Amino acid sequence: MIADKMEAYVTGSSLIRAMFEESKKMAAKYGADNVFDFSLGNPFFAPPAEVKASIEKYLAYPDQVYVHGYMNNSGYPEVREKIAASLNRRFDTQYAGGNLFMTVGAAGGLNTILKVLVGAGEEVVAFAPYFGEYGNYAANVDARLIVVPPSPPTFEPNLEAFEGMVTAKTKIVIVNTPNNPTGVIYSADVLGRLADILRRKQREFGTDIYLISDEPYRELVYTGKEVPWIPNLYENAIVGYSYSKSLSLPGERIGYVVVPDCVSDSERILQAANVMTRTLGYVNAPSLMQLVAADCVDVPVDVSNYRKNRDLLYGGLTDIGYRCVEPDGAFYLFLESPIPDDVEFSARAKDFQLAIVPGKVFGCDGWIRLAYCTSYDKVERSLPKFKELWESVK
């Protein structure tokens, strides 16, 4: 007998899993080449050449115990220092290596920081549309996820609604920018006002409210729009990062968390994180990939392929008549379902060999997410299918 709580998890995960299974079934029926899978956020492009060069370097390194062995649970000190130095150059900050801990991807980092900060019954706030796993991460620490309703068409954080939803139990607020699923980059103006609200609420309740910035898509930007460095806008901000997208290494599980000195109780947080990575079973981020990440810390991210896909898809869908959010970053496009029920619309899309994800999964009914981290050819050939789908519901 599995634990009672598990039943809800397994059932809750079924919508996305059903999509994977459907995509496989469609591939069997129509041939993989004739299925247009926009469901998965799995980078389609290989890692940059620097990744291979770095691995080769470490394969030739004399001390293989260093390369594959245990280190401090928070990561190799020299890796953390190199990443801190890169952040300092980019964001005009003064972090030391000790302000960072290396993590098993962004998900491992978020789970660790939630475990460190959030007690049972406390509240974690997210802005819809949001990455659906946040609800499960909150449940892992017996916290409640409070979801702020979406604000179409900009899909910036809905601050009016947010202000009324912060309570004395609010421990963490999560933002994700560039955003999954909308591709929107939150503006410095809105984030600044969000910070003002948090400061006001901290004073009102006499609490610390931590703003966690989950930013695996930081470098995937297509417009001139700047991605603000959130710790420069708010004192109690913690940043979670992953190399999954920027270095196309999602399977390798490598990322980090930054806890600046100005964060309330930062020293205790970093100490506790060092213990919790072990206690939660991650122990440390994979060793070789830590070293690779440090070597590649300033490798420019080539977004040209994603940009081509984005331009083609956004242009093509808009021409057909779909109402889309123009993505500034990430590799997602958010479009309004032409019929009110997004789950129903996703189901109908399968008849046209299209695998797409309903907005319901992200707490945003009536919308659809497309992940365009696929081949240009697939995007091109999908457009007639999206047109047929459009005509079938109009």
Sites for a copy of itself among residues 225-254 (CB under 8 A) = 248-253
Task: Give me the residue label for tokens 């869908």.
Answer: 317
Q: Which stretch binds a copy of itself (CB under 8 A): 85-93, 114-122, 183-191, 323-331?
A: 114-122
Give the C-alpha separation, 266 to 359, whole Å.
Answer: 36
Residues 132-161 contacting a copy of itself, CB under 8 A: 133, 136-137, 139-142
Query: Judged by CB, which is closer to a copy of itself: 72, or 223?
Result: 72
**In the complex, minimum distance from the CB of residue 120 to a copy of itself, in angstroms, rounded to a whole number:** 8
**Which residues are within 8 A (CB) of 329 and not within 5 positions of it... i.e. 6 or more apart?**
177, 178, 179, 183, 184, 185, 217, 220, 221, 222, 223, 225, 227
**In the complex, minimum distance from the CB of residue 8 to a copy of itself, in angstroms, rounded to a whole number:** 10
Residues 68-97 contacting a copy of itself, CB under 8 A: 68-71
Query: Judged by CB, which is closer to a copy of itself: 45, or 88?
Result: 45
CA-closest candidate to residue 233, choices 185, 198, 269, 182: 198
DSSP code string of 290-353: HHHHHHTTTPPP--HHHHHHHHHHHHHHHHHT--EEPPSBTTEEEEE-SSS-HHHHHHHHGGGT
CB 318 within 8 A of CB 99: no
For position 282 contacting a copy of itself by CB under 8 A, the verdict is: yes
For position 353 contacting a copy of itself by CB under 8 A, the verdict is: no
User: Which residue among 79, 118, 147, 335 contacts a copy of itself (CB under 8 A)?
Assistant: 118
Binding mask 32-71 for a copy of itself (x = CB under 8 A): --------x-xxxxxx---xx--xx--x----xx-xxxxx
Element (H, E) at 390: helix 376-393
Query: Judged by CB, which is closer to a copy of itself: 133, or 341?
Result: 133
For position 268 contacting a copy of itself by CB under 8 A, the verdict is: yes
For position 205 contacting a copy of itself by CB under 8 A, the verdict is: no
Task: Give me the residue label for tokens 């939660």.
Answer: 280
